[in-house]
Amino acid sequence: MKKFLKFFLISLGILILTPFLIIGFYELFPAKIHNQTVSGFSAGFLSNLLKVNVTGILFRDQVWSGEIYVSGPLVIVPWVTLKIEPGTVVKFKHSRDYKNPLRGGLIIKGTLQAIGTPEQPIWFTSDAPEPINGDWESIFITSQKENIIKYAIVEYAQLGINFWTASGEVSHSIIRWVNSECIYMERSNPVIEYNTIYNCGYNGIALEQFNYDVKIRYNKIFDNLYNTGIHGEATEVEIEGNIVKNNKFGITFDDFSEAVIKNNLIENNSEEGIRLMNSCQAEVYSNLIKNNGLGISCDLGDSQIIIHNNDISENQNDFYIGEGCQSDLKNNQEKITIPEPVFDYQDIKKTDLGYCPGDPNDKYPYIYPTEDETRKVIKRIVGGIPISFGWSLGWDGQYLWKFRHAGAGNLMKINPQSGEIIASFENPGIAQDHGIAFDGQSLWINDFSALKVFEVDPNNGKILSSFKIPEMGGGASGIAWDGQYLYLVSWLDQNTLYQIDRKGNLISTLRLKGPAGQTITFDGEYFWVSCNQWICKYDRKGNLKGKIYSVAWGTWAMAHDGKYLWTLQRTNENWTDPKVYQIEILDDTILLEK
């Protein structure tokens, strides 16, 4: 009877059962698929039978060839290897609808081996007839296995290739026309070499937070017009033999990074060729650094830089060494030639975006309608360089609080009516602010890089106290005050809140029973957190009580004034549009009924 019931449920009720019930039947799923749709619970004939756009889970090793259509997020579980053969075209479902943004993407918890050839690269691209940046999600790698992406083309994604506590290799590939970073990593140690990386909406390569032993070698990173070729935070990396040109910034590091930068050509970047700040260490030697807005700058937080045997010339200014930097400069008028890497593959295109994401004519819908059935935008404030972008927003009962820009800059008190900056205090030593809370007397600021919370006097911006965050396997990404305790959002598990007192003692943890994201605020009764395309409301027991649609792409910080919700939106990180939104909640229950 039990066997019959199990068979009956799997056969007739598969759409409503947890996908893990079919693990025992993995032999039903083919080891090789060619020209197929990947959706539903696995791939091949079952997908064609179901034709449902739900989160996919691949339960056994598989080989792809031909044209593959991924109609939603596809998870490769830890014991599975996905191999993709040369010439395969992987098309991902696109979406530009802020209410229904289900896009295709790969989530690699197992092993990915996508190995093409110079003549037959593997394509990861949008299924849209006229694709644009941000059409599909990303290749998201979360495993410490032998992940390889070689001779591939990755284009039109939200974020190109994302290493998250992972290892692997990206080589001989083209990554382009991506909404944010073309390659991103946290707590990872990949090798990135012989790639062509251009027209990334934010950084070409971003090494953000606690990466180690990263190798970036012999790449061409160019035409990232609105931000940086290579950027790192709290990272250990060796950068050798790259061409980094025609970006806004060439190579930048902050927040306790350690970098060796050698034998690179760094030229025609409109701002700094190399920039260090906030307690970084770097060895810079045998590079050709020319025709940049500024050759090398180093400042803030006891940074240290050794600059030996480089050719640093023809920049508007060759050096800026601030008081916060210890420097050792020798023999930097050498005559150096850096040959461009010779690749055995071509930069081939089937379509052409025609702009760099972030352009004024960018077609991606970063900003959503002012009003829908769930919420209404009352107004937007705080625009212009450099005060719009960031990860923190606080409310003290009368004023908003924000740092001038992400990761640095002065602490600002802002009139919520006009957006006028009422006061500006020198940054008290916060490396990377991720959240501001107010307890009635003090501001409490979460420093993501330092793994600390700082108590700050709102009258003068001075630090009153600090404590290390509880051990949670990583940093905290947001902070809130409920009238008695502080709450920190775990960066690696954003459904978990850490309840702590003002001395940093862990009181308890709270599990949010629903979607959750990096930022949090408290309205006097409920927690509000970012959660995918929504902003979600939770009670003190972690039960989901309401949802509204976000007002723009990327809800990165929140505050509540007792009546209105305030959010700091990403929109496009490089734009100077007003990013602080005042929001009236119209109906936060209607989405719970859908």
End position of a domain, from candidates 302, 330, 346: 346
Question: Is the pLDDT score of 12 beyond 60?
Answer: no
In a domain, 367, yes or no: no
- 9: confidence class by pLDDT, cuts 50, 70, 90: very low
Q: How far apart are the first and last CA of the chain?
A: 36
Average pLDDT, the chain: 90
Residues 155 and 100 grouped into a single domain:
yes
In a domain, 195, yes or no: no
10 by DSSP, 3-state: which? helix
Residues 77 and 222 grouped into a single domain:
no
Report how far residue 126's alpha carbon sits from residue 397's, in angstroms, rounded to the nearest whole number: 46
Q: What is the CATH number of the domain that holds 548?
A: 2.120.10.30
Report how far residue 13's alpha carbon sits from residue 34's, in angstroms, rounded to the nearest whole number: 27
In a domain, 462, yes or no: yes
Q: What is the pLDDT of residues 397-447, one digit of tens each?
A: 999 999 987 766 899 999 999 999 999 999 998 988 999 999 999 999 999
- 7: confidence class by pLDDT, cuts 50, 70, 90: very low
Sheet holding 580-585, edge to edge: 375-381, 580-585, 565-569, 555-560
- 300: confidence class by pLDDT, cuts 50, 70, 90: confident
Report how far residue 472's alpha carbon sits from residue 487's, in angstroms, rounded to the nearest whole number: 13
Q: Give the H or E element holding residue 90.
A: strand 89-92
Report how far residue 239's alpha carbon sits from residue 284's, in angstroms, rounded to the nearest whole number: 10
pLDDT at 574: 86
pLDDT at 298: 95
Residues 236 and 311 grouped into a single domain:
yes
What's the whole-number mean pLDDT along residues 550-555? 97
End position of a domain, from candidates 179, 196, 225: 179
Residues 293 and 411 grouped into a single domain:
no
What's the alpha-carbon Rg for the chain, to the nearest Å?
24
Q: What is the pLDDT of residues 361-377, one digit of tens each?
A: 999 999 999 999 999 99
Least confident of 24-38, 80-94, 144-158, 509-523: 24-38
Residues 167 and 233 grouped into a single domain:
no
Least confident of 306-320, 401-415, 573-587: 401-415
Domain range for 229 is: 217-346
Residues 237 and 329 grouped into a single domain:
yes
Q: Which of 201, 183, 37 is nearest to 574 (CA)?
A: 201
Question: Is the pLDDT score of 251 beyond 50?
Answer: yes
Q: Which of 172, 176, 126 is nearest to 152 (CA)?
A: 172
Residues 163 and 242 grouped into a single domain:
no
In a domain, 339, yes or no: yes
Query: What percent helix, strand, coil does the chain show, rounded to 5?
Result: 5, 45, 50
What's the whole-number mean pLDDT along residues 451-469? 97
- 468: confidence class by pLDDT, cuts 50, 70, 90: very high
Percent of the chain at pLDDT above 90? 81
- 34: confidence class by pLDDT, cuts 50, 70, 90: low
Query: What does the H/E/C string look like for 202-227?
Result: CCCEEEECCCCCEEEECCEEECCCCC
- 37: confidence class by pLDDT, cuts 50, 70, 90: low
Name the one residue in this structure whose structure tokens are 């090398």.
296
Name the one residue in this structure whose structure tokens are 């006229």.
130
In a domain, 135, yes or no: yes
Residues 340 and 381 grouped into a single domain:
no
pLDDT at 389: 79
Question: Is the pLDDT score of 45 beyond 80?
Answer: no
Report how far residue 552's alpha carbon sits from residue 569's, in angstroms, rounded to the nearest whole number: 6
In a domain, 360, yes or no: no
- In the chain, the number of structural domains is 3
Q: Which residue has the higher pLDDT, 190 or 23?
A: 190
Residues 414 and 469 grouped into a single domain:
yes
Residues 538 and 433 grouped into a single domain:
yes
Residues 254 and 167 grouped into a single domain:
no
Question: Is the pLDDT score of 53 beyond 90?
Answer: no
Give the distance, in angstroms, between the CA of residue 227 and the centroid of all CA atoms in the same chain. Answer: 14
In a domain, 106, yes or no: yes
In a domain, 467, yes or no: yes
End position of a domain, from candidates 122, 155, 179: 179
Residues 329 and 458 grouped into a single domain:
no
